[in-house]
Amino acid sequence: MNAPLRVGFVGLGNMGAPMAQRLLAWPGGLTVCDTRPEAMRPFAEAGAAVADSVSEVAADIVCVAVLDDAQVRAVVTELLGAAAPGTVIAVHSTIADRTAEELAATCAERGIDLVDAPVSGGGPGAKLGRLAVMVGGSATAFERVREPFGCFADLVVHAGEVGAGTRMKLARNLLHFVAFTAATEAQRLAEAAGLDITTLGKIVRHSDAVTGGPGAIMLRDRTAPIEPDDFWLPILRHVRDLGEKDLGLALELGDRLALDLPLARLALERLGSGLGVGDNTFERQNP
């Protein structure tokens, strides 16, 4: 029976610290490293080994959760100076997909696997062990990291080759921040109409927890127009019809309040085609 893999963790910030805390009970042991001694102190007290420098992180799997591409490059470069062949370096930072590909090629020259493994779920998800991890890398590397990743995530997916994990994270975050921008537009409409926008926020969080929010429509395996005999056609036509009606009413309210709602107009224009169910019927019926 193989001994459990030892895990290292570099970067104990807002995301890294709660992720690493979930690994304290990992049977293979945990080594942590951060530029701030005070960040490592609680881990040492909990029984983790502490490395004074990145090059001293001796582990089978080394998780990296630092700020940006430059810091990731610096950490990976230092790890390469000491890591043994067969080590897997897992980059949890959201970086450019090309950076991940370049670093993976450099690591491969030394017999080391690099996977890009960005996470979704934020600090609360990390503390609860409820993150989603999108892994880009070889099937062999994915199998090695899946079990330890399960300490801080309850969804670990193999997105594809190196770079695919980052590309999936960028697509996910596109939705995240476009939705945030739409939320600010909704707040402006509610405020202009004399409504309490904190109450609106409660309504949105409540209903999205029930319906699934924007992810509720993300069930198809392609984005092409839906075929006439497809199961999803009547369902997404219904979504389109409701959406176009409600967007039209919101835009009419905005016009009365002299408030421009550019995202709502764009949504009305593109909802039907985006769902794969054809042109905007609301505009045709209400010229």
Q: Catalytic residues, which ones?
A: 169
Alpha-carbon 75 to chain mean position? 22
Tokens of 69: 């591409």
Tokens of 192: 């202009």
Let me know: does 120 contact 94? Beta carbons within 8 Å.
no
Dihedral pair phi/psi, residue 154, rounded to 5°: -110, 10
Tokens of 263: 């995202």
Distance between CA atoms of 120 and 118, rounded to whole angstroms? 7
Give the N- to C-terminal CA distance of the chain in Å, as an integer.
71
Dihedral pair phi/psi, residue 115, rounded to 5°: -120, 140
Q: For residue 197, give every residue at least 6 positions away whose Cβ sits within 8 Å of its Cβ, in sequence order, or none.
A: 187, 190, 191
Q: For residue 277, give every residue at least 6 positions away whose Cβ sits within 8 Å of its Cβ, in sequence order, or none.
A: 225, 226, 233, 236, 237, 240
Distance between CA atoms of 53 and 33, rounded to whole angstroms? 7
Q: How many CA atoms lie within 13 A of 136 on its CB side?
A: 26
Distance between CA atoms of 222 and 216, rounded to whole angstroms? 15
